[in-house]
Amino acid sequence: MLTQPRFRWLPMPVHSLLLFVMWLLLNNTLAPAHLLLGAALALCIPLVVRGLQNPQPKVRKPLRALGYFLLVLYDIVTANLHVARLVLGRLDVLQPAFIAVPLDLQGDVPLSLLAMTVSMTPGTVSCEFSTDRSCLYVHALHVEDQALLIETIKTRYERPLQEIFGC
């Protein structure tokens, strides 16, 4: 619950601004009626949904987050080249596999970021979490050593996310 009076009528100012701008861009006009309707929606929608907000974890190490972003970007590029080489080669040598990656990570946002990272890296797709969220099930296009893939996911992605979010 927000206790500061200045946020009682504008609980999510950034969201309100984005809603207003998006409304104007989608309608492609600055007509007074659209300005009024956009402003009304930008004020009312956040008031209606403010009770649905969940507390989000704070990024404890923003520079580490930037490093993580650059690491993932690098991995996406190199994995694209690796997958292209695999696909353009002999397909009968591929060894696809489903693996269960045990998790130490906690929290909705960090787990979602881990799953998205695995899926964005070509050659792997995160399928689902176990019901107790202790494992992430991953499908990989080509796996020669399952233990190595699990260790790679844990050291390259999970541990940095633990550092970034402090969980």
HEC per residue, 152-164 = HHHHHHHHHHHHH
Could you tell me the two tokens for 31?
A: 């007509």
Could you tell me the two tokens for 139?
A: 């499908």
- 116-165 pLDDT, tens digit per residue, is 999 999 999 999 999 999 999 999 999 999 999 999 999 999 999 999 99
- Angle, helices 62-88/108-120, rounded to nearest 10 degrees: 30
Contact 94, 142 (CB under 8 A): yes
What b/e sequence results for 43-53 when a residue is b if at least 16 CB atoms lie within 10 Å of its CB, and e otherwise? eeebeeeeeee
Predicted TM-score (pTM) of the model is 0.72
Q: What is the mean pLDDT of the chain?
A: 90
Q: Give the residue-averaged pLDDT of 33-47.
A: 93
Provide the H-helix boundaries in 32-145.
32-49, 62-88, 108-120
